[in-house]
Each structure stands twice: as structure tokens, then as C-alpha cells.
Amino acid sequence: MAVTVAAAAAMVGALAPAAAADPLPGGLGPCLGDSCPPDVRPDPNNMPVTYHDSNINIYVGGDYLVREAAAEAEGKIVTLGRFDMDKRAGASQIYNVGVVGVGSRVPPPNGSDYLTVGGDLSVASGERLLAEEGANQGVVRHAQDRSGTVTPDPVHDTGAAAPYTALRDQLTAASHCYAYDDNEDHRRPATGTVQNSGAETVFTGDKTSALQVFAVDADLATGAGGQQGIVFNGVPDGATVLVNVYGSTRNISTYMGSLPQSGLRERLMWNFPDATEVGLKGTGQFQGSVLIGQQSSVATLAMSGTNGRFYTAGSLTHTSEGESGGQELHAYPFDGDLPDCGEQPSPTPTPTDSPTPTPTDSPTPTDSPTPTTAPSDSPGPTPSESTPGPRPTPTHSWPPRPPHPGGELPNTGSRGGEWVIGGIAAVLLVAGSAATLMARRMRRRG
């Protein structure tokens, strides 16, 4: 992992480079904070909350919509666009964020931001958005208008999403780089094979590579679009698995359950570099993290459960199918070593949460009217929910990265809390978790 030599790095300790790999942009991926759990977390459960994670679990560059009977989203959530909750009648009228009943049971720290909204925050009449469970409670922070019931009372902050806007372009660039290794259209070579038999798709690795790369050019579903199993073979212990799913429209339908390989979930990345429409459905517990690179994309998530980071530069609709309900996103870290993508934009840190003002009795904030012109850091036009309209054909043309004297790459790092993010305040945020994170890495890699 490349480590930038900078004055700020001294505050998190001297770290030696170990391999030609990079973390996700902005320090995304690993658990952050001084109360992270062991490297391999148990499957979704309802055990007491013991650990906490300050890193972003769900990032949405566009709008975040909650529909039908979707139930919960665990971990720290950021959406640059609007958050709009309007579930179907007869389903539970509650949506939980931050901490959930059944999941990894690793929420953000108490009192920190559970949900950050860059646009309007809307909860339909008769429904409730909850950022609390028992003694665990967080903050819902929104930049523009608010309507509906949110508990605890949300905080209006016109700059709420500003620290996170740069991540959108960074994730788009990273998604492309992981799938195309020449900055243009040359696909990153696969190290393993993919075989779809209808009943299941089997990913077979080469048993030796530290980075197992698979290329998928079709939907992961039966011939009729039904559910199938997903199996990984030939993946050596400790390897990172990168599944590049190519194509402008892609669907996964699975009854996938737990992975037999211990720790693989935390090193598995599903990357959609091209897709403007992504459908994820099925009754399974989908394992691994998801990265969707196209900013014009709409992801429709109707799986019973996802277990890993969920990062999209586009929009997300969390929903359900038919009469099903209880769909959840669970917070599990990504600890894999991804390809070295060279220079990336300066990473955006997870900021220290602003103090939460004492809530007032008034259910509606008395903030100044929202200007009719969107702020300069707006994530762009709001996609239509029912008729998205034509979307641009994905492109893979990216400007070449300039060379750097001496071959060093500025503003890169060696995962999560060790990312050199510049600025004393940002370094202090990750300093507390760096030693713990690296100690675990060294033990695991030793």
C-alpha cells in the first residue's frame, strides 16, 4: 500500500509501504474509530451493541428513496441529493437508520451523524424516520427543507453535505480504474473464470493471486430472471476479490447466504463501472461491498439483506418486491487491497460531527427559506423516480493522470484511518484509530 510522506502523516505514525495497492478513495472501506470490532464480524445478529464504526457505510451521490416495505439501513449514511421516504400502505411505516434491530450491530458512535442529507428531507405523512434504538441515538442532518416525522429532531445545516461532495467524482474514477487498467477501454485482466449454469454462478479463482479479478458480462440470474446461488472457489486465504460487472443494465437475483470462506465478505467488492441501471433483488443475504460508478445511474435494491459497504455515485431506491418486506442494508467493512489507480483527487475525510443543538418543541425548523437555485455543490439534476428518461451512454474516456516527481503520489494512503487527508483537524479524527487498525492488519498479514 502506498503511503504519502507528509508532515501530517507523522501524527498517525510512520508507516512503511507494503504493496502496490490502494484503499478506496477518501479513506472509505475499513472501520474507523477507537471501538472497532475484530476483523471478521459475525453474520447479522441482534446481540447488544458493543462496538462502533465512524466510517461511511452507505454513500449516495444522487437521491436516496425509500419505497414499499424496505425497513432499515445500518451505519453512517450520506446522500448528496434528497432523502425521500414514502412506503406502501400496510407495511411498517418506520425506517431505521444508523442502528438497526438485526445487522452487524456496529452503528456509528452515539451522538454522531447517522444520516446526512444534501437536499430535502421528506417523510410521508403517518410514517417515521428513526435514528435511535434504546440507548443508541444519532443525528439526522439535512441541508435543505424538511417535512414529516424524524426522531430525534433533525438538525438543519446548509453545509451538511459539503465535506462529502468530492467523493462522488472520486468514486466514479475509482470504479472505472478498477475495471479498466489503461485509463480508457482496456479491461483489467481476469485471473479467474465465471460459469453461470442457471441454478448458480460459480466464480473459480486461480488459487494463488492476492487480487482475484473476475469479469461478468451478463446478469447473475436464471435464464428466466429468477434467483440463483453464488459460489466462490479457488480463492486463497487473505485474497481480495474484485468482481467487475460490465454492461449498461445489470441485474442480480440471488438467494445467496453466508460465504464459507472466513473473512471473504470483508474483502469482496462488486464493481459496476458502466451501468446506468442496476437491479439487486432476491431473498438472500448478499455478501460483499458494492461500488457503482456512473453518476447518472439508478440502483434499485430489493434484496432481503446486503452485507458490506454500499457506495454509488448515482441514486439509490431501497424497496421491496411483491408482498415481501423487511429489506435491510447491514454495515460490514471493506478491508481488501484494490488496484493502484495512481493519482486521485484529494480525499474527503469523514468530518468531526458538529455539536447538536438542543431540539426545540417545534416540529418544523424555522430556517430561512431554501433558495430556488441549488447550491454549487449540488449533486446535479434529480432523477425522475417513475420515468427516468434517456440516460447518457457510459463512457470510459478519462484524462491521463500527470506524472509526479520521484514517482510519489500525493494524497494516497494505506487504508482508512491512515489516509493522509491534510489539515490538522482531519488528521486528529483518524489518528485515534490508525494504530489499532494497523496493528490488526499487521497481525493478520503476519
pLDDT band at 12 (very low <50, low <70, confident <90, very high): very low
**Between 17 and 372, the higher pLDDT residue:** 372
Which stretches of 158-201 are DSSP H helices? 166-179
CA 1 centroid distance within chain: 21
Q: Which of 422, 348, 391, 440 is nearest to 26 (CA)?
A: 348
State the cell numbers at 157: 445545516
pLDDT digits over 314-335, tens only?
Answer: 999 999 998 899 999 999 999 9
Contact 46, 443 (CB under 8 A): no
pLDDT band at 343 (very low <50, low <70, confident <90, very high): low
**Between 414 and 31, the higher pLDDT residue:** 31
Residue 345 in this model has a pLDDT that exceeds 90: no
pLDDT band at 33 (very low <50, low <70, confident <90, very high): very high
Residue 17 in this model has a pLDDT that exceeds 80: no
Q: What does the alpha-carbon distance between residue 133 and residue 129 come to, in Å, rounded to a whole number?
A: 12
Contact 123, 150 (CB under 8 A): yes
> Average pLDDT, stretch 226-245?
97
Percent of the chain with pLDDT over 70: 71
pLDDT at 65: 98
Residue 284 in this model has a pLDDT that exceeds 90: yes
Q: What does the alpha-carbon distance between residue 120 and residue 143 come to, in Å, rounded to a whole number?
A: 7
**Between 224 and 367, the higher pLDDT residue:** 224
3-state secondary structure of 125: coil
How many residues in total does the chain contain?
446
Q: What is the pTM of this model?
A: 0.76
> Average pLDDT, stretch 264-288?
97
Q: What does the alpha-carbon distance between residue 427 and residue 48 come to, in Å, rounded to a whole number?
A: 31
Q: Does a cis peptide bond (omega within 30 degrees of 0) precede residue 152?
A: yes
> Average pLDDT, stretch 61-74?
98
Least confident of 256-260, 263-267, 421-425: 421-425
Residue 445 in this model has a pLDDT that exceeds 70: no
3-state secondary structure of 7: helix
Q: What does the alpha-carbon distance between residue 313 and residue 148 come to, in Å, rounded to a whole number?
A: 27
pLDDT digits over 95-154, tens only?
Answer: 999 999 999 999 999 999 999 999 999 999 999 999 999 999 999 999 999 999 999 999
Q: What does the alpha-carbon distance between residue 57 and residue 331 come to, in Å, rounded to a whole number?
A: 6
Residue 403 in this model has a pLDDT that exceeds 90: no
Contact 278, 299 (CB under 8 A): yes
